[in-house]
Amino acid sequence: MYFYVYSALRRALQALRGGPSFVADLLAGSLAEIAHLPVSVPLETVLIKVVNSPQQGTIATAVAAVREKGVQELYAGTLASALLSAKPAVQLATFEWVRSWLLRRRGAGASALSAAQAFLLGALARAFATVVVFPYIRAKFMLKNMERAGAAAGGDGVLAPLRGMHRAMALVVQRQGVGGLYQGLWQELARATTSAA
């Protein structure tokens, strides 16, 4: 779904701007990522609940969540996911911008990168995007794995997703310094760059 929406938006935005643009690619990537959230967030929410409570099946877990807290429970984390939509947008925009720059430097006859060059550029673009948004990835992971994120962050209950992410990041900085926001970055870079390249 992402790539269909991204391709259509990118073509439309480039037509409006009169050609390739880093900003158009970034906007197309962000909007394409946001477009799938109404489907992917409830699935992710149910998956996390099933993993944390394996005695129930998937359907039973989803039904129980809706009965207990309403349909909005399936959309917990939507704001955090929307914020994290910047990652694929930054990745694709970086890839397209650097690819265009490389091809322009080669001259009029160059039309494509080799497979090895595309692989390497894909890995570098993914690494750059990961570094940019990693504090939010870490905060989202922390919140998704805490039963009561509010209690762990000094509050009294489950926090709103976006506010909770910022409180989780503030808590990490307070306890571990700014470097703590990037704890686990090397492992995520190793995983992310090989999967995206």
Identify which of 173, 186, 166 has the alpha carbon closest to the alpha carbon of residue 80: 166
- Could you read off the pLDDT of 24-83 as tens digits, one per residue? 888 888 888 888 888 888 888 888 778 777 778 888 888 888 888 888 888 877 777 787
What pLDDT is attached to residue 124? 92
What is this structure's pTM? Answer: 0.63
What pLDDT is attached to residue 145? 64
CA gap 93, 141 in Å, rounded: 25
Q: Which tokens is 30 given?
A: 């962000």
What pLDDT is attached to residue 144? 66
Distances (CA, A) of 186 to 63, 131, 138, 168: 38, 10, 12, 20
Confidence band, pLDDT 50/70/90 cuts, at residue 163: low
Q: Is the pLDDT of residue 94 over 70?
A: yes
Handedness of CA 126, 129, 134, 136 (dihedral sign): negative
Q: Is the pLDDT of residue 134 over 80?
A: yes
CA gap 180, 172 in Å, rounded: 6
**Range scoring the smallest mean pLDDT among 4-18, 119-133, 161-175:** 161-175
Q: Is the pLDDT of residue 149 over 70?
A: no
